[in-house]
Amino acid sequence: MTDVDASALRDEPVEVTVTASELVYEGRVWDVRSDTFVYGDDEIVRQYVDHPGAAAVVAIDDQERVLLIQQYRHPIGHRDWEIPAGLLDIAGEPPIDAARRELAEEADLDAERIEPLLSVFTTPGGNDEVVHIFLARGLRPASAAFAREAEEADIRVEWVPLADAVEAVMSGRMRNGILVAGILAAAELLRRS
């Protein structure tokens, strides 16, 4: 192994030739695809979730508290703690606008300032989802409250000191991957400033 210049570390896109792509299952939110592609000297078949992507928001108030929401998630059988987030399911909507929309829809809040924090591949071995996470500051009540249904009908909203949220992540009490990435990135950004 050789030492690598840390500034050179980055994910690298790779061009492959897809020789076949089949829609295995068409879902309401995402699809399952089976692709055959050439990688090196091999022809490989992989199935994956074809996902539209998402936007999420770490909303921090003037007291350095972070907004957390809790809602039921059927695949894991838990009401997990999350940050406001939602699908990029409106054609042409930029991720930052989706983040603003989700903050209003899930927490009835608007933000004076919203800026990119980071983007993450959630499960690169099984889906192509990218979640764009934003930092929101200058929070105020939204002009209108949103009606919530299904799993969102009983969303629990809490303001938690950022340091307490970091502790909950580090002790394994909160495990939602988007929350983990967003909380730790926001804490590091604020530590640096």
Report pLDDT digits (tens) over 158-169: 999 999 999 999
pTM for the full model? Answer: 0.91
Q: Which of 93, 115, 152, 188 is catalytic?
A: 152
Position with higher pLDDT, 150 vs 193: 193
Q: What is the pLDDT of residue 147?
A: 63
Pairing verdict, β 156-161 and 85-87 = unpaired
15 is annotated as an active-site residue: no
pLDDT of residue 6: 87
Cβ-based neighbour number of residue 43 at 10 Å: 12
Residue type, 110: D
Reported confidence tier of residue 146, pLDDT bands at 50, 70, 90: low
